[in-house]
Structure 1
């Protein structure tokens, strides 16, 4: 392409509401923590590796008997409250700004569970009802990459 020689109406995306293809054999509940797997499909939060948090499900979608990509789910990036893990994996205010790791589709933990969990997002706040996690795929990927480099 060549440089502009006139005004251009450049398309934009608000990024407020997104859609992603669901992985095979997956049931997503509205309000669930969603992640993207290594194949690029959306899956509910769970203890597994090779995934990254992307947002909160805006609807229930049942692809439990379908193949990957048969259905899509609307999701919203942003900051949402999830249940806190317990004991050594409980997130505290000292963890604000650090990665939170997915335990399941509604629970996050302080650690990667000895390399068994994927990053869900960044801890934004902690209160008596749970952990506020910022779900932003690019930000979480960057933080996870930086954390891995620092650990090496």
Structure 2
């Protein structure tokens, strides 16, 4: 069987979890296939949203949201150094990452690709 389709690009579109309100330009995670905010545990980093989505009154999948995968820059919680390049960063908030998973209470953001004085570049997305 041949491939059904080909895709080049960094944008993805996912169904949104019931009750979720996700702001624009913020990272989001997939939990059981539904997109939600990074503060919901056991998520897989999907990417950074392009637009706000409000599914506060909808059921699972009633709304959809677009995310962009790839390298995104986040604020450093203060514990990531250049020695951590290649390791996994974890979301402290939707704008800050740490090298610590805080005893498995933080979602993985992705691989650290660069650290500079202004923040941490992380490869985000599935």
Identify the residue that residue 84 of structure 1 maps to in structure 2: 76
Unaligned runs of 5+ in 2: none
Q: Measure how far apart 1:64 and its partner are.
A: 1.8
1 or 2, which has the higher strand percentage?
2
Structure 2 counterpart of 1:60, from 52, 60, 63:
52
1:23 aligns with one of 9, 14, 17: 17
State how far apart, in whole Å, the 1-side matches of 2:108 and 2:92 are. Answer: 10
Task: Please report the TM-score for the alignment, with normalisation by the length of structure 1.
Answer: 0.76
The question of 1:111 aligning with 2:104 is answered no
| Structure possessing the higher radius of gyration over alpha carbons | 1
Over aligned residues, Cα RMSD in angstroms?
1.8
Output one character per residue of 1:73-125: Cα deviation in whole Å (capped at 9) or x when no partner: 01111000011113xxx211111100011122211111110111121100011
**Structure (1 or 2) with the greater helix fraction:** 1
Q: Does 1:36 align with 2:15?
A: no
- Indicate if the aligned counterparts of 1:93 and 1:126 stay in contact, CA closer than 8 A: yes
Find the counterpart in structure 1 of residue 117 from structure 2.
Answer: 128
Query: What TM-score, normalized to structure 2?
Result: 0.90
